């Protein structure tokens, strides 16, 4: 009797959508599908998956939206005939830092899920805070200052947790909720991350937080991978019992709940592997194994990341996380908030909303834009921290100017994004030998050309733009293998036979030289803005 193929499913609960990718044991993608929050679940009235609040700093998403999206996506998958009954393990990715606030009815409701009713109907009453603060929130400046004061400064917080106190990081969001909604905090039995919450739905119980996503909270001792005993009381009282355990990212967290077997047609022996953050999952999906392999993810936020054997925490920028694929390793990352939405705003204004026109216009100016530098802060920026939104332009002589021509503008936005990533990546120990591009914007060759020239390295593209859900599927396979043999299997063995990435573009040495020369002036301009000055 021939055995049926075994499949591995990765979910990605991202800012704007919920996606699924299924791979076979040879890592071939056999199925993909997505639900878009704004378009497919319009009753939640999100824009780009989120609600922006009137203060301009607070950003949340209705938590029940993610619950509804899981059932909707699974219904679509079943309708498509996706091989759900042959999925042997599921893992997932969640937008980092977002928190889910569960009350004392939550665990019972999760355990008792009945297949005859939707998740949304059964779980609508389990939240102590209905709207999850997400990574775009920058409203916790006060709480960050208090944490740094309590722990002995920014460098000390970075040494302990991997990052200085950071506004979107979950611990500071927890401190804010404790201070502003004390009754809701009191009524909270468990605080989950988006990642561990989605895993909780699947196992029908509270799922642990994995060490890689746990590092994005300012609460975990980065080296010990345990809750940092000094950080917890400086954040909120009786926090440890509300956070549950931290596990290594490859850990099997339990069997799939019967709800999904009965309602959606999974097999009863399907396992769930700890979910992790979207950037950690992308690191897995992009198979970043060699030092010098850096990923550049071009999405709602732009991130640059790679693996390190020793963390180099910095008080001024970037983040160190635990590796999602090696319990002894680390990953370094920088995150820019002004990514796709900022590029698109310039495209809409200067190139009539068309990428084709944008690319044609880009070819009309030389690399370096004749010394022009533009810094576009549509949203308060994370790297470097620039709170004041606005657009800042400087001519070749370094003087502030009010505007650029349209062709100069399209080049300026890309060059400043990539120069900023080069500069700050270098500051956190990321030394590029090649870049692997992913995310929605990685399909644009003109954009990759600018990246290659700025960094001076070839740029490869992952076949699929969506590396987070793919990485989650790889991690499902990795966790499944580790459980099968009862020890940690090197992640490299999981992808040993996968098709290599395609090289999209080689750098042009002359153009790279122009950017290297421009970088010192770019750094000065950026530093002045981050320090509160403006053009
Ligand atoms: C990383 O620190 C971030 O805040 C973002 O990249 C989110 O993870 C996007 F989901």
Give the bridge partners for 246, in sequence order: 209
Å from CA of 335 to ligand 1 middle = 7
Q: Which of 13, 14, 97 to mutate to test the pocket of ligand 1 (most atoms within 8 A of CB)?
A: 97
Q: Is the pLDDT of residue 342 over 70?
A: yes
Long-range pairs of 391-398 with CB within 8 A, sequence gap ≥ 24: 392/525, 392/529, 392/534, 392/535, 393/535, 394/525, 394/535, 395/371, 396/370, 396/371, 396/372, 397/371, 398/371, 398/521, 398/525
Residues 344 and 273 reside in one and the same domain:
no
Average pLDDT rounded to a whole number, residues 491-498: 87
Residues 148 and 230 reside in one and the same domain:
yes
Å from CA of 15 to ligand 1 middle = 9
Atom of ligand 1 nearest to the CA of 278: 8
Domain that holds residue 398: 340-460+505-530
For 406-437, letters b (16+ CB in 10 Å) and e give bbbbbbbbbbbbbbbbbbbbebbbbebebbbb
User: For all residues of the chain together, what is the average pLDDT?
Assistant: 95
pLDDT at position 292 is 87
Å from CA of 135 to ligand 1 middle = 6
Q: Is 96 in the pocket of ligand 1 (CB under 6 A)?
A: yes
Closest C-alpha to 314, from 430, 155, 531: 155
Q: Is the pLDDT of residue 478 over 70?
A: yes
Average pLDDT rounded to a whole number, residues 451-468: 90
Q: Is the pLDDT of residue 463 over 90?
A: no
Q: Which of 17, 135, 165 to mutate to test the pocket of ligand 1 (most atoms within 8 A of CB)?
A: 135
Q: Is 15 in the pocket of ligand 1 (CB under 6 A)?
A: yes
User: Of 256 and 497, which is predicted with more confidence?
Assistant: 256
Residues 355 and 234 reside in one and the same domain:
no
In a domain? residue 107: yes
pLDDT at position 465 is 65
Q: Is 135 in the pocket of ligand 1 (CB under 6 A)?
A: yes
Residues 385 and 276 reside in one and the same domain:
no
Tell me which residue has its CA closest to atom 4 in ligand 1. 135
In a domain? residue 35: yes
Cβ of 532: how many Cβ atoms within 10 Å?
Answer: 9
- Determine what percent of the chain is predicted with pLDDT higher than 70: 99
pLDDT in tens, 21-55: 999 999 999 999 999 999 999 999 999 999 999 99
Tell me which residue has its CA closest to atom 8 in ligand 1. 96
Which of 254, 280, 306 delimits the end of a domain?
280
Ranking 62-76, 186-200, 314-328 by mean pLDDT, the lowest is: 314-328
Residues 250 and 368 reside in one and the same domain:
no
Residues 378 and 513 reside in one and the same domain:
yes
User: Of 473 and 1, which is predicted with more confidence?
Assistant: 473
Q: Is 97 in the pocket of ligand 1 (CB under 6 A)?
A: yes
Average pLDDT rounded to a whole number, residues 220-241: 98
Which of 280, 310, 330 delimits the end of a domain?
280
Q: Is the pLDDT of residue 1 over 70?
A: no
Alpha carbons 490 and 254: distance in angstroms, whole number? 22
Tell me which residue has its CA closest to atom 10 in ligand 1. 95
Q: Which of 282, 335, 381 to mutate to test the pocket of ligand 1 (most atoms within 8 A of CB)?
A: 335
Å from CA of 27 to ligand 1 middle = 25
Q: Is 303 in the pocket of ligand 1 (CB under 6 A)?
A: yes
Distances (CA, A) of 204 to 187, 197, 457: 20, 10, 46
Q: Is the pLDDT of residue 289 over 80?
A: no
pLDDT at position 2 is 58
In a domain? residue 318: no
Q: Is the pLDDT of residue 517 over 80?
A: yes
Give me the count of residues in the chain.
535
Which of 252, 280, 308 delimits the end of a domain?
280
In a domain? residue 102: yes
Alpha carbons 286 and 293: distance in angstroms, whole number? 9
Closest C-alpha to 436, from 232, 312, 282, 326: 282
pLDDT at position 498 is 82
Alpha carbons 92 and 195: distance in angstroms, whole number? 7
Å from CA of 118 to ligand 1 middle = 29
Residues 125 and 236 reside in one and the same domain:
yes
Q: Model-level pTM?
A: 0.91
Q: In this structure, what token pair is assigned to residue 534?
A: 């403006």
Q: Is 301 in the pocket of ligand 1 (CB under 6 A)?
A: yes
Atom of ligand 1 nearest to the CA of 168: 4
Q: Which residue has the tokens 């950017």?
A: 515
Q: Is 335 in the pocket of ligand 1 (CB under 6 A)?
A: yes
Atom of ligand 1 nearest to the CA of 303: 6
Q: Is the pLDDT of residue 318 over 70?
A: yes
Ranking 126-140, 288-302, 440-454, 475-489 by mean pLDDT, the lowest is: 288-302
Cβ of 99: how many Cβ atoms within 10 Å?
Answer: 24
pLDDT at position 366 is 98
Alpha carbons 297 and 420: distance in angstroms, whole number? 14
Q: Is 12 in the pocket of ligand 1 (CB under 6 A)?
A: no
Overall number of domains in the chain: 2
Tell me which residue has its CA closest to atom 6 in ligand 1. 301
The helix/strand/coil state of 354 is: coil
Q: Is 95 in the pocket of ligand 1 (CB under 6 A)?
A: yes
Q: Is the pLDDT of residue 344 over 90?
A: yes
In a domain? residue 307: no
- Those residues whose C-beta lies under 8 Å from the C-beta of residue 416, and which sit 6 or more positions away, are 373, 374, 375, 376, 522
Residues 57 and 142 reside in one and the same domain:
yes
Q: Is 279 in the pocket of ligand 1 (CB under 6 A)?
A: yes
Residues 263 and 388 reside in one and the same domain:
no
Confidence tier at 535 by pLDDT (50, 70, 90): very low
Q: Is the pLDDT of residue 534 over 50?
A: no
Residues 252 and 391 reside in one and the same domain:
no
User: Of 369 and 443, which is predicted with more confidence?
Assistant: 369
In a domain? residue 155: yes
Q: Please name the helix (run of DSSP H) or strand (run of DSSP E) that holds residue 259, with its range, or none.
A: helix 258-264
In a domain? residue 477: no
- Which of 296-305, 361-370, 494-503 ranks highest by mean pLDDT? 361-370
In a domain? residue 491: no
Residues 275 and 348 reside in one and the same domain:
no
Q: Is 278 in the pocket of ligand 1 (CB under 6 A)?
A: yes
pLDDT at position 162 is 97
Atom of ligand 1 nearest to the CA of 136: 4
CA dihedral 237, 243, 245, 248 (to 10 degrees): -120
CATH at residue 449: 3.30.420.40
pLDDT at position 433 is 94
Residues 241 and 113 reside in one and the same domain:
yes
Tell me which residue has its CA closest to atom 9 in ligand 1. 95
Q: Is 427 in the pocket of ligand 1 (CB under 6 A)?
A: no
Q: Is the pLDDT of residue 349 over 50?
A: yes
pLDDT at position 134 is 98
Q: Which of 95, 193, 441, 469 to mutate to test the pocket of ligand 1 (most atoms within 8 A of CB)?
A: 95
Q: Is 168 in the pocket of ligand 1 (CB under 6 A)?
A: yes
pLDDT at position 533 is 44
Å from CA of 122 to ligand 1 middle = 29
């Amino acid at each position: 009797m021939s055995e049926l193929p075994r499949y591995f499913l990765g979910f990605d609960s991202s800012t704007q959508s919920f996606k699924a990718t299924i791979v076979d044991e040879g890592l071939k993608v056999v199925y993909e599908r997505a639900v878009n929050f704004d378009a497919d679940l319009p009753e939640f009235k999100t824009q780009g998956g989120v609600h922006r609040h009137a203060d301009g700093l607070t950003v949340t998403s209705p938590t029940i939206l993610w619950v509804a999206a899981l059932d909707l996506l699974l219904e679509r998958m079943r309708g498509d005939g996706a091989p759900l009954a042959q999925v042997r393990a599921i893992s997932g990715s969640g937008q980092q830092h977002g928190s889910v606030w569960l009350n004392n009815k939550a665990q019972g409701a999760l355990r008792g899920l009945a297949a005859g009713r939707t998740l949304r109907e059964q779980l609508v009453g389990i939240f102590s805070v209905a709207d999850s603060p997400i990574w775009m929130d920058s409203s916790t400046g006060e709480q960050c200052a208090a944490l740094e004061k309590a722990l002995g400064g920014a460098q000390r917080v970075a040494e302990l947790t991997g990052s200085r106190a950071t506004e979107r990081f979950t611990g500071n969001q927890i401190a804010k909720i404790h201070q502003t909604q004390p009754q809701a905090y009191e009524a909270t039995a468990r605080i989950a991350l988006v990642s561990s919450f989605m895993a909780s739905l699947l196992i029908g119980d509270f799922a642990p937080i994995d060490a890689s996503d746990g590092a994005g909270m300012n609460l975990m001792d980065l080296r010990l991978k345990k809750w940092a005993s000094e950080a917890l009381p400086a954040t909120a009282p009786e926090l440890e019992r509300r956070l549950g355990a931290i596990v290594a990212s490859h850990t099997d967290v339990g069997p799939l709940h019967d709800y999904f077997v009965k309602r959606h047609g999974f097999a009863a022996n399907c396992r769930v592997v700890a979910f992790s953050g979207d950037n950690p999952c992308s690191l897995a999906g992009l198979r970043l194994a060699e030092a010098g392999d850096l990923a550049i993810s071009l999405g709602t936020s732009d991130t640059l990341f790679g693996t390190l054997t020793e963390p180099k925490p910095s008080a001024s920028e970037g983040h160190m996380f635990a590796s999602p694929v090696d319990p002894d390793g680390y990953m370094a990352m920088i995150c820019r908030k002004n990514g796709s939405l900022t590029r698109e705003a310039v495209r809409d204004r200067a190139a009539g909303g068309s990428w084709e026109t944008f690319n044609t216009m880009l070819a009309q100016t030389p690399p370096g834009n004749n010394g022009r530098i533009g810094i576009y802060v549509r949203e308060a920026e994370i790297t470097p921290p620039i709170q004041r939104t606005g657009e800042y332009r400087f001519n070749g002589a370094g003087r502030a100017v009010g505007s650029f021509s349209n062709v100069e503008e399209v080049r300026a936005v890309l060059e400043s994004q990539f120069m900023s990533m080069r500069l700050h990546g270098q500051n956190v120990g990321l030394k590029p030998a090649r870049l692997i591009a992913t995310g929605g914007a990685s399909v644009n060759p003109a954009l990759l050309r600018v990246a290659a020239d700025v960094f001076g390295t070839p740029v490869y593209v992952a076949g699929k733009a969506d590396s987070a859900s793919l990485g989650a599927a790889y991690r499902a396979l990795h966790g499944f293998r580790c459980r099968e043999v009862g020890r940690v299997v090197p992640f490299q063995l999981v992808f040993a036979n996968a098709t290599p990435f395609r090289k999209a573009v080689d750098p042009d040495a002359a153009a790279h030289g122009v950017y290297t020369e421009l970088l010192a002036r770019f750094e000065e301009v950026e530093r002045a803005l981050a320090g509160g000055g403006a053009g």
